[in-house]
Amino acid sequence: MRTILITGQGGGGRTTVAAATGLAAARAGTRTLVLSADRIDSLGAVLGRATGAEPVRIEPNLTAWRPDAAEDFREDLVAFQDRATSVLDLLGAGRLDAEELTPLPGAEELALLRALRDAALSDSYDLLVVDLPPAPQALALLGLPEELRRYLRRLLPPERQAARALRPMLGRLAGVPMPAEWLYETAGRWDVELAAVAAVVEDPGTTVRLVAEPGPAGTDHVRLASIGLALRALPVDTVVANRILPGATHDTWLGALAAQQRKAVEEWRQIHPVREVAHLGRDPRGTDDLAALDAPGAGDAPARVEWPVMDHLGGEGVLVWHIPLPGAIRDELDLIRRGDELVVTAGQFRRIVPLPSALRRCTVDGAALRDGCLRIRFAPDPQLWPRTR
């Protein structure tokens, strides 16, 4: 299955472009699902038909789905209470009824991740178009599976499960129930679910489309989003320049805005392919308006973003790790080596990545940013590097 993640500038028309993209692909014969987690039914307003907790067929080959975050939250918390009964009783905690539960902030995003996983595992669709929040929130959401799995491995290392056989005896000696068994089982189940979501995000068929309205604010947003996505090694297949004004006009005010848009679009073309979507002069409503936008359909997935390690041992005596970061500024970059991990910070974005095996036996020898690529030099550590005869 091909997955297109659509994010970008807040108010830039992400939901409209997601719906138009899904419609274009469906009318080209691709079985398409458009997925959104917006609490307000913006997707239904654009499509001209209400969407909700159950998938809705809009027209042949096109389905829309807006998962119910509240119901998912209630089911998860009730299930957790059932599994943690002994611990809650020990603490004297009262149980909560499903009817009194309301979703916490972030529940919509978690529901979207679960729906993303379920849709990807389905055989009913060939294309999944995901209407994500604005880029900063979307990047945090897309990084959540990787970060949570990392936290789980740190808090509950798998190797500690070897002591499971001793827990009943320890519980009898202590005189209290031991919660470790259900805790590890819960952690294991979460790890499997998170791994399934991460597999969709990291799949070679998954790409990102940035939506922005050309102008100074849109240009800043595209640059920042490009850095954050590159840090996640997520390829951008297209920047959708939305609400393009007609260039030929006798109105001085509109002409100045159109010139500003053309300048922004040319800047974007230096980093990514750009698709221009014209302004209809009104808010699009219904499939006829969406078809008139001429939004890009499924298209071809670009090559995945690679972080290659180049061998310069024979010449400079170092290995160089290449990390593409288009649009990055040197003063906004920061690197910290921590054990076998590297903490990379680019502006407001940060990612903790494991070092490739060869680099774990090296020390950091310097770094430089050139032509939108961060090059980190690693020198072999004589204490760890295999000796040559």
CATH number at residue 331: 2.60.40.790
Instruction: Let me know whether 284 and 374 are in one domain.
Output: no
Least confident of 248-252, 257-261, 318-322, 334-338: 248-252
**Among candidate residues 292, 318, 345, the one where a domain is terminated:** 292
Give the pLDDT score at 90: 47
Q: What are phi and psi of 351, to 5 degrees?
A: -145, 140
Question: What is the spatial distance between Cα 130 and Cα 88, in angstroms, rounded to a whole number?
Answer: 38
Give the pLDDT score at 164: 52
In a domain, 42, yes or no: yes
Per residue in 61-85, pLDDT tens? 999 999 876 555 445 555 555 555 5
In a domain, 163, yes or no: no
Q: What are phi and psi of 168, to 5 degrees?
A: -60, -40
Instruction: Let me know whether 281 and 202 are in one domain.
Output: yes
Question: What is the spatial distance between Cα 1 and Cα 20, in angstroms, rounded to a whole number?
Answer: 19
Question: What is the spatial distance between Cα 127 and Cα 83, in angstroms, rounded to a whole number?
Answer: 36
pLDDT of 179 strictly over 70: no
Q: How many folded domains does the chain comprise? A: 2
Instruction: Let me know whether 266 and 360 are in one domain.
Output: no
DSSP 182-220: HHHHHHHHHHHHHHHHHHHHHSTTEEEEEEE-SSHHHHH
Instruction: Let me know whether 136 and 36 are in one domain.
Output: yes
Instruction: Let me know whether 272 and 336 are in one domain.
Output: no
Cβ–Cβ contacts within 10 Å for residue 272, how many?
21
104 confidence band (pLDDT: 50, 70, 90): low
Least confident of 168-172, 190-194, 229-233: 168-172
Give the pLDDT score at 210: 95
178 confidence band (pLDDT: 50, 70, 90): very low
Domain boundaries, position 48: 2-69+104-154+195-292
Q: Taking residues 295-309, report their average pLDDT.
A: 84
Least confident of 167-181, 288-302, 351-365: 167-181
- Token readout for 145 is 């599976």
Give the pLDDT score at 73: 46
Rg, the chain, Cα only: 25
Q: Taking residues 271-279, report their average pLDDT.
A: 92
In a domain, 78, yes or no: no
Instruction: Let me know whether 21 and 118 are in one domain.
Output: yes
Instruction: Let me know whether 317 and 238 are in one domain.
Output: no
Instruction: Let me know whether 332 and 243 are in one domain.
Output: no
Global pTM reads 0.83
Instruction: Let me know whether 278 and 326 are in one domain.
Output: no
In a domain, 80, yes or no: no
Instruction: Let me know whether 344 and 219 are in one domain.
Output: no
385 confidence band (pLDDT: 50, 70, 90): confident
Instruction: Let me know whether 200 and 256 are in one domain.
Output: yes
In a domain, 172, yes or no: no
Least confident of 9-18, 162-171, 348-357: 162-171
| Region for residue 159 given its phi and psi (left: phi exceeds 0; alpha: psi -120 to 50; beta: otherwise) | alpha
Give the pLDDT score at 168: 54
